[in-house]
Structure 1
């Protein structure tokens, strides 16, 4: 049964004014209903976004991932540089709850190591006589929290004198899980810093080209066409290769971030330009100009906020490309270098087929890369649909 609104000036019926509004069914409210009509653009976006379950779960996953990098030292079982020389290339250990039918709690079995002289490799096997219970909120390896505060608390630790390698170890006996947790701090933030650089250049250059037009717009479009015609990966490699090897890891990190942002602003600039070309003729823009607003105020206060939701959606679709770019450069040895740890740096351990065949767990760092990129793509799709006024 369709709902009829009362004439103007008369109150809404009791069942309409008192019933709570359902955000999942807001698009079913007939045009002109007070709740949908008075809602802001951001609130309408949020209602649409909540209906996109996959995008919502992806956003929650990414929020947890970015919050985890704040306390990476606490979440990692070991220090980033801790070496266990007795457990080189140790395989992942399984967590158990029961031992011989008896509940023990979360624990791992100790490992026995033998040498395979025929294949020249270490062979590890579980030792049922060694039950190593896991400890939580425990004292373990010491670390400098964000490089400033000395601490030694961890979320989970092995038993006293025991070892726990849930994702195995590398060629130096370093815990792969701990290094993945530490590497997330670099791999995830490089996308945010890169998109910041890209946004500044894209909005500034594209905004001026779309607002002023003329010769400036013509020059900007030719520059964008030239940059977009160059293959991105060879250009990344060339720019990364010219960075001096004696630069500090932090300067290299900033250099990679700047390169990724510098080469990605062209698509955003074109989108901003096309939007401003259509919006600059609107009545509210002309009214602002007639009231004496300068060009920067018109662009920043009246034009850019009009499609900021589309810019946010574009950002979530651009960040995965930057994460992949850093991973590619680091994997090829032209990006970040040790002692800086990122997911791309971790994957350099699995460059050869022999290593992958013997120690497949060294490819595990590719899993968080895939999950994060898929989550950003799903989140971007949801935001793009939510920001579409004709959706």
Structure 2
């Protein structure tokens, strides 16, 4: 049978499709324009949500960042279970202890580590830690250790994902100047450092959307008042204002009150950019036919803004929120680093980096800079996710 006969014979064509080594030759010439038309037709028939999802999934870096951030935020309620130590637990024998090595699948155990023996260097008078390689200790998984905590506010337990070996310590990222486990404190500090960004964005968006929407819809003296307020706030140097407002927080306030006030301060100083974007969008939307029709039908102003104008601006709001959270996280980190943000016994990444202000200590104990890594990773992940959402929410571009 010739190649042309195979192309026209259905049985031969079916065998060629089933045979991976066969090469099926179509009698019809290949038309690439037909494939393009079919792809365009599928896009035209798809819903807006489907187009947004397709465009977002093409952004591999944005997808990976979204999965990473989702995993972190889902793990925040279970930090007590995931961290091997309590964040305030001190060990006098592990002051400035270096990170410990862990070996997997050794001696019939899933993971083993080696006890650290400390000696004082008589030349520098600094403790020197050396692992005892002749004494491997198995790491305990799903074991009970440390103080009791309340899981999800419902169950009191001291069960943890993994615990130090019996009679030994386990400091995966080392210990600080008080002998506290840095790995556990990073995990507990994520609760405040990541939550302060969400609260600050909620406050910022509530103010920005309200004032920007009113200025763009009504115009006139309302627009002038909002614009002048934005210009005044924008003219003030941001960091000194942060420092001044944070220093005004009373020293006798508890950690929860200070955390809330820091979130409010970050939100109050971040709304002008969003308000100006909302105003410019509303200035163009209020001239649309559907807005004019709603006004002629007697729809109240609140319904026109919330039901007709705001949905057309929601894509920009989602992308702006994703890109604003990193600035909130960096703001809290900077304030806590300078000692004007959250205060002990609270734990945040900025407070932990406060121990790294001494360059001499950092030179000798570089693991004190470990909290800088999650800050950088979270900020980059939010930026990549925001860029992906900004492109995906405009599927017809």
Aligned partner of 1:37 among 18, 27, 44: 44
- The 5 Å alignment of 1:18-97 reads 29-30=39-40, 33=41, 35-97=42-104
State the partner residue of 1:277. 283
Question: What is the distance in 1 between the residues matched to 2:255 and 2:38?
Answer: 55
User: Matches of residues 1-391 of structure 1 in structure 2 within 5 Å?
Assistant: 1-2=31-32, 29-30=39-40, 33=41, 35-97=42-104, 104-145=109-150, 149-391=155-397
Q: Which protein is bigger by CA-based radius of gyration?
A: 2
Following the alignment from structure 1 to structure 2, what is the Cα–Cα distance between the partners of residues 130 and 305? 64
Rounded Cα–Cα distance in structure 1 between residues aligned with 2:308 and 2:77: 36
Unaligned runs of at least 5 residues, structure 1: 5-15, 17-24
TM-score (norm 1): 0.90
- State the Cα distance separating 1:333 from its structure 2 match: 0.2
Residues 187, 343 of structure 1: 8 Å contact kept: yes
Contact 2:255 2:346 in 1 (8 A): yes
C-alpha displacement of 1:142: 2.2
The answer on whether the counterparts of 2:319 and 2:390 sit within 8 Å (CA) in structure 1 is: yes
Deviation of the 1:290 alpha carbon: 1.7
Deviations 1:209-262 (A, max 9, x none): 000011110111111011111111111011111111011110100000000000
- In 1, the alpha carbon distance for the partners of 2:326 and 2:126 equals 37
- SS of 2:339's equivalent in the other structure is coil
Instruction: Give the distance between the partners of 1:388 and 1:155, measured in 2 at CA.
Output: 43
Deviation for aligned residue 1:158: 1.5
Shift of residue 2 of structure 1? 4.9
How many angstroms apart in 2 are the aligned matches of 1:355 and 1:214?
58
Could you give the per-residue CA deviations for residues 263-296 of structure 1, whole angstroms, max 9, x where no partner exists?
0000000111111111111111111112221111
Q: Which residue of 2 aligns with 1:19?
A: none
Q: Relative to 1, partners in 2 of residues 1:259 and 1:266: Cα closer, same or farther, differing over 3 Å?
A: same
Counterpart for residue 9 of structure 1: none
RMSD: 1.8
Q: Which residue of 2 aligns with 1:11?
A: none
Deviation at 1:358, TM superposition (A): 1.1
- Alpha-carbon distance in structure 2 between the residues aligned to 1:40 and 1:152: 49
Aligned residues: 366
Residues 120 and 263 from structure 1, CA distance in 2 versus in 1: closer, same or farther, beyond 3 angstroms? same
1:131 Cα shift? 1.0
Separation (CA, whole Å) in 2 of partners of 1:40 and 1:214 = 39
Distance 1:96 1:28, change over 3 A: farther
What's the CA shift for 1:163?
1.1
Q: Quick one: distance in 2 between partners of 1:136 and 1:3?
A: 59
Contact (CA 8 Å) 2:51, 2:395: kept in 1 or not?
Answer: no
Distance 1:192 1:286 in 2: 35
Task: State TM-score, norm by structure 2.
Answer: 0.89
